[in-house]
Chains A and B, each alone.
Chain A
Amino acid sequence: MKKFLPLIILAILFILPLIGLSSYIMHILVLVIMWSIIGMAWNLLGGYCGQVSFGHAAFFGMGAYTAGLLYYHLGLSAWWGLLVCIPVLGVFSLVIGFICLRLRGPYFALATLALGEVLRVTAENLVKFTQGDLGILIKQRTWIEKTWYFYVILLLAAGSFFLIKKVMESRLGYYFVAIREDQDAANSLGINTTLYKTIALCLSGVLTGVAGAFYMNYMGYIDPTTVFPLYDISIVTVMVVMVGGVATYWGPVIGALIMVFLAEVIRSVPKIGAAHQTLFGILLIFIIIFLPNGIVGDFRKMVGLFKPRGALK
């Protein structure tokens, strides 16, 4: 049963649009699935390999701009961005990994944090190439209905899920976990830690970039502050995984579901809407102190909290 759970959920999601949901609900679902891809990608690098990144907006924005610039400069369909961003993000992640992953601990977190900012500033300043703050607008979106976008992102998400599952069940996955648990021990067992960390970064960067390219197609408009922000993308990515569960397959999905719905609910409340980041921040602090392994990781602990005392005996 457990083995088929992903397939069952996929099948349920596949028939979901057929029951005629409103386009607002479909929009939320698309966002949830997009965020779970980004969360899964971050989880591969941060959760399994232990390299915490505070700058996944850099990869996301890079993917979005790859798609947008293909459309803007070459007149190709922005859907080509989904393919083209794979080599682009791969090379980009290689370079970043080469610089930052040779060193340990907080350096990488810091470098990625700065990276998002730098790309935003670059995109704002290279006005001739990226249109700067004007952003890039796709004049005609492919579909008006959300249904097809839903299927596209669902396929991408399913692909990412199975890819990550395959990777984590292979030799590579065990290397990643070994590096997270003890880098010195991993090194002394003959694992080339830099190489495997770079592989994790490349996989993570490419998946996030694909989500970014999809975002360009879906939203039809991007500018530097919507695709490279620190809090609204990089930190939310970390939160999606932290809330859902670090180093679990389903954590990012659950996290994305909670975060997207929470954001929508909070934003719709008048007056409190402006303070949504405060509430997110408090939620983050709460999760770190009480459920450090997320909802999926600490599920047993959480159930234990709600059970009456007698039942534990």
Chain B
Amino acid sequence: MAAQVELFLQTLISGFLLGGLYALIGLGMALIMGVMRIINLAHGDLMMVAMYVAYWLFTLFHIDPYLSVFVATPLLFFLGVGLQKFLINPVMKVESILPHNQVILTVGIGMVLTNLATVFFTSNYRSTPVSYASKAWYLTDFWKEAPIELSLSAPWSLSFLMAVIFTMALWFFLTRTDTGKSIRATAQDIDAAMLMGVNVGRMRVATFGIGAALVGGAGCLFIPIYYLYPTLGKQFTNIGFVITVLGGMGSTEGAIIGGLILGIFESMTATYLGMGWAPVGRFMIFVAALIFLPGGVASFLRKKRLGK
């Protein structure tokens, strides 16, 4: 019995830590979704680019992956700005039969990024073997007579902590600064924002940059605890949009909660069903969210707030 409780709690902890990182991926996507009404299907591939930046910084200059956050995040910001300015914005003006042209465009971008990574860096699996990779804290270190044993891995906790800091910074940016408020206004109602003198075009560019920067940060936090290969982006794009749907399209609070739910659920499927089934679990959550909670967690929160 104790062993089962232990397993369950351990799974819950690792799911929670994973969820914090997922939330960061989902946040960037939700932000882009909210402002531009498109899904960025190159999201995971942008993360892959950031991970390669962190990897090469570590391999060539021995810079700790957690420090390369400060390099990769600005870099990804400018990449995102460039993509939006020179590729996605021109497409928004083009008249066409299909309304989803921009989404298809992001698929094209993702395809190019993945393939270029494969050509230049080969499809080998890579990782950054940091010295503290296997360091962990144990429950019995603090509480000698604990009936069960739980552990907390150092890199995971550090990544989680950094993800929380990122989220706080984003929250501060969105609620306290002028640009942040303009972005939120654009997400709420583009026409009204435009009438209030918000430069919507610039906000779009800024949003895509910030979304890319967030997922770039997530990439740097993921690399010490994960491994890297060129096609990894696809998987994280899937994770990103499941979170976006689960959280409610374009809602940032929803994305955080959605990320945590997905992290815990995925951890549970991996423990009790097997690692290979995690994507199926993800899809089950996605379908369940579509059927039972089509507005996502955000609609739930809104209902509660109105009820008060």
Contacts and interface: CB of A to CB of B under 8 A. Distances in A.
A50 B98 CA distance: 6
A111 B111 contact: no
A71 B107 CA distance: 36
A235 B108 CA distance: 9
A109 interface: yes
Contacts of A278: 111-112, 115-116, 119
Interface in A114-130: 114-115, 117-118, 121-122, 124-125
Contacts of B90: 289
A42 B33 CA distance: 25
Contacts of A242: 104
Nearest to A242: B104
A103 to B, nearest CB: 6
Contact of B94 (A105, A235, A238, A288): A288
Interface in B77-120: 87, 90-91, 94-101, 103-105, 107-112, 114-116, 118-119
B95 to A, nearest CB: 7
A284 B119 contact: no
A274 B230 CA distance: 13
B100 A106 contact: yes
Contact of A52 (B87, B98, B274, B287): B98
A288 B39 contact: no
A99 B98 contact: no
Contacts of A280: 111
A120 B242 CA distance: 18
Nearest to A132: B276
Nearest to B95: A292
B105 A113 contact: no
A125 B276 contact: yes
Interface stretch (B12-20, B179-187, B277-285): B277-285
Measured as residues with beta carbon below 8 angstroms from the partner, the interface class of chain B is 35 or more
Contact of A118 (B96, B103, B118, B283): B283
B108 A47 contact: no
B101 A292 contact: yes
A285 interface: yes
The B contact surface, by secondary structure, is helix
A230 interface: yes
Contact of A54 (B107, B274, B276, B283): B107
Given A118-B280, A281-B115, A113 B104 contact: no
A282 B286 CA distance: 31
A284 B107 contact: yes
Contacts of A247: 97
B27 interface: no
Contacts of B94: 288-289, 292
B107 A99 contact: no
A275 interface: yes
A141 B28 CA distance: 50
Contacts of B97: 47, 180, 246-247, 292-293, 297
B107 A238 contact: yes
Contacts of B95: 292
Contact of A109 (B100, B249, B291): B100
Given A114-B241, A292-B96, 7 more contacts: A105-B99, A121-B277, A235-B107, A278-B119, A284-B104, A285-B108, A285-B109
**Top-7 shortest CB links A-B:** A292-B96, A281-B112, A277-B115, A284-B108, A281-B111, A52-B100, A278-B115
